[in-house]
Structure 1
Amino acid sequence: MPLTEKDRKLVNDLLSGASGAWNLFVDRYANLIVQVIRHTASAHSLKLNADDVDDLTAEVFTALLDRNLAAIRAFRGRSSFATYLTVIVRRVVLRKLTQRRYLQAFGHVKAHQASFAETADDGSANRVDAKDEVDSLMTRLPQNLRSVVESFYLEGKSYREISRLLSLPKNSIGPMIARAKDLLRSREPESS
């Protein structure tokens, strides 16, 4: 579907800072953004509550506003604007879901710290503390296990992709991730 004249004008108004352009953008695309968030989570077998959807929507809007609308400035009109936004939303959501999955996978972060509400910009101290804790624990792993864990949790690669990338048998990836988790749990300090 080609770029419509209405969207072309909206993009131009956004980039020129026209009064009310952002509100028009939000009115026109908020439902699409929410729909893409829900679909992306569902496609990855994740259930989101209303707060999660709100937080992810805010993350998307933040990404769109970031660096003086850089993502919108990058739009070249080679597709519909809705298609372009769908790609951006999906990337933001996958990045956030991957970060959440990575933190939760190792059980080193309290559940409330791993929620989207706590990892939003106003909870950046918790996010930094959690990331520092995970990074510290990761340095305790042997390099081969660390590479597998980072490929799976941070980069979102499949077992097959990790197998090819690291020249490992595909059926060894799952046991390596389980071994890494066991090693990290056995090395963490006792909590009081």
Structure 2
Amino acid sequence: MSLSDVDRQLLQRCLDREPRAWQDFVDRFVGLVVHVVNRTAMGRGLSMDEAIRDDLVAEVFLVFVRHDLAVLRRFRRQCSLATYLTIVARRVVVRRLMANQSAANTHLSSPSSNGATVTGATVNGSSNGHAHPCQINGELQRIENAEEVQHLMMRLDPREASVVRMYHLEGKSYQEISQAVGLNENSIGPMLHRARAKMSDQ
């Protein structure tokens, strides 16, 4: 999806520091950021209270404005603004949750620990609730070049493009993708491999 005229104008207003531009930006995208925070935490088996969720949302917007809106200035406008902000927001939240889970794992290693609550985020006791740091680093890497992914996806058939989008841009797990597209979970990896091969063809 390309950058809409509405978002292009809003982005430029923010970069030009026009009055009320930032407030309009927040009003437009706060729901998106809240959704990203909720989905990212839920995908890692974490439950948050309202205060922690608000803190994460505030941290995302702080990243947006840091260093004279550097994140917004780096946007190359080759995809929708919402897609770009989703990628940035998920990266911020994953980094915070990675730090929280590191603290949680330390707490869980204590013999007296029956569960863990990290700054208001409770870690699910199941094995699916603990994201290994390498898995989180992998997610950060896979979304780093998301605008290129959007462009290269035009080489794929609709089902392949859908799987690539869900994995690389939406951060979904193989299980979530298999449920969404009606494929066996074991077939998602090979499909992603084939899609990457198509996308790398010159």
Please indicate the TM-score interval, normalised by the length of the shorter structure.
Answer: 0.5 to 0.7
User: CA shift at 1:45, angstroms?
Assistant: 1.4
Residue type matched to 1:4 in 2? S
Alignment of 1:44-83 (within 5 A): 44-83=44-83
8 Å contact 2:56–2:93 — kept in the other structure?
yes
- Residue 3 of structure 2: aligned partner: 3
1:86 aligns with 2:52: no
Alignment of 1:40-189 (within 5 A): 40-107=40-107, 114-115=118-119, 152-153=132-133, 156=136
User: CA shift at 1:157, angstroms?
Assistant: 5.2
Distance across 1 between alignment mates of 2:29 and 2:61? 11
Q: TM-score, normalised by structure 1?
A: 0.58
Residue type matched to 1:27 in 2? D
Bigger share in helix: 1
Distance across 2 between alignment mates of 1:98 and 1:9? 35
Between the aligned residues of both structures, percent identity stands at 35
User: CA shift at 1:51, angstroms?
Assistant: 1.0
8 Å contact 2:104–2:117 — kept in the other structure?
no
Q: TM-score, normalised by structure 2?
A: 0.56
Q: Check 1:77–1:154 CA distance in 2 against 1; reply closer, same or farther (3 A cut).
A: same
8 Å contact 1:33–1:89 — kept in the other structure?
yes
User: CA shift at 1:44, angstroms?
Assistant: 1.4
Residue type matched to 1:65 in 2? V
8 Å contact 1:102–1:154 — kept in the other structure?
no
Residue type matched to 1:153 in 2? P
8 Å contact 2:3–2:81 — kept in the other structure?
yes
Larger Rg: 1
Which runs of no fewer than 5 residues in structure 2 stay unpaired? 110-114, 122-131, 139-202
- Residue 35 of structure 1: aligned partner: 35
Which runs of no fewer than 5 residues in structure 1 stay unpaired? 118-151, 159-192
- Once superposed, what is the RMSD of the aligned Cα atoms? 2.9
Distance across 2 between alignment mates of 1:112 and 1:68? 37
* SS of residue in 2 equivalent to 1:47: strand
Instruction: Give runs of ≥4 in structure 1 deviating > 4 Å.
Output: 111-114
